[in-house]
Amino acid sequence: MNESQVMERTVSTAVQPILELKGICKYFGGIHALDGVDFDVYPQEIVAVVGDNGAGKSTLIKIIAGVHPPTAGEIILYGKPVEINSPLQARELGIETVYQELALVDTRDVPANFFLGREPTRGKAGIFVDRKKMVEETVRTLKELGISLPTLDTMVRYLSGGQRQSLAIGRIMPWGGKIIIMDEPTAALGVKESRKVLDLVLKLKEKGCSVIIISHNMRHVFNIADRIVVLRGGKKVGERIKAQTTPDEIVKLIVGADML
Ligand SMILES: Nc1ncnc2c1ncn2[C@@H]1O[C@H](COP(=O)(O)OP(=O)(O)OP(=O)(O)O)[C@@H](O)[C@H]1O
Ligand SMILES: [Mg+2]
């Protein structure tokens, strides 16, 4: 899909969002982390959420990921109101979150991490883990996504930040996650590793997923996003189709015109 098609699709009323957040508020005591935020995700798009430190970005995606319940507001998924009460429930609803550090087990190897908690079994009673199948599936998926790792047998703790990130993204694929959330996936990565992760994000979109990505890196945002949503002080202060905006405009929205 080229940019103008994406634009047409995004502004067209014929295409319904797959996920709609309406009037979302999240208060932590007296802190209004989110204050009446509307946020949509369309099929097969990459939407970037940007904003200064403390703007409410992580809080927004944690609400979608089932980590925090909203104080007020409504979540509509595929046209139906839903409550997302836990990360497990989010996953069951087809919402996958890529955590850079938390979700990998350092002392286990690549296939073990690929299938963590969802290991295929063999034998009549299904009590034996099917290691052969795990390795085959891991190799196939890594190849399909163009992820290269030195060896599969290595403990994940020896992989670089970018390799870990690729693994965390790659292992979503076999499970058919449709909405994928990433909170600053390139924050700790160098130029080359960032590029690989961004390519993976584009690949997820190619495969039919929608991706919500938080990033402070304007170059990364403009490189991959179809749409950019700007938060400031817990409010949505702008929403732009990438082809119709500039990094300069987005930065102005982030800091607020009164700050310039
Ligand atoms: N669990 C919590 N308890 C209390 N306050 C919180 C909690 N989580 C977030 N906040 C507050 O809510 C506001 C928004 O935080 P959030 O983490 O969503 O910001 P962010 O946009 O992700 O910022 P950053 O770019 O620094 O990651 C901040 O003022 C933060 O201190
Ligand atoms: Mg954050």
Q: Which of 25, 49, 50, 58 has most ligand 1 atoms within 8 Å of CB, for mutation?
A: 58
- Return the residue whose CA atom lies nearest to atom 24 of ligand 1: 53
- Return the residue whose CA atom lies nearest to atom 7 of ligand 1: 28
Predicted pLDDT of residue 202: 93
- Residue 26, beta-bridge partner list: 34
CA of 48 to the centre of ligand 2 (A): 13
Q: In the predicted model, what is the mean pLDDT of residues 79-86?
A: 96
Residue range 107-130, pLDDT digits in tens? 999 999 888 878 888 877 777 888
Predicted pLDDT of residue 71: 97
Range of 20-24, 85-89, 164-168, 194-198 with top mean pLDDT: 20-24
Residues written for the chain: 260
Of residues 236 and 257, more confidently modeled: 236
Q: Where residue 240 falls among pLDDT bands split at 50, 70, 90?
A: very high
Rounded distance, CA 219 to CA 96, Å? Answer: 25
Rounded distance, CA 243 to CA 228, Å? Answer: 10
- Terminal alpha carbon distance of the chain: 36
pLDDT at 80 over 70: yes
Predicted pLDDT of residue 83: 97
Q: In the predicted model, what is the mean pLDDT of residues 175-203?
A: 86
Range of 107-121, 145-159, 174-188, 229-243 with top mean pLDDT: 229-243
pLDDT at 106 over 70: yes
Residue 248: exposure state from Cβ atoms within 10 A (0-12, 13-18, ≥19): exposed
Predicted pLDDT of residue 166: 85
pLDDT at 96 over 60: yes
Residue ranges of domains in the chain, CATH in brackets: 1-11+43-68+84-94+177-260 (3.40.50.300), 101-176 (no CATH)
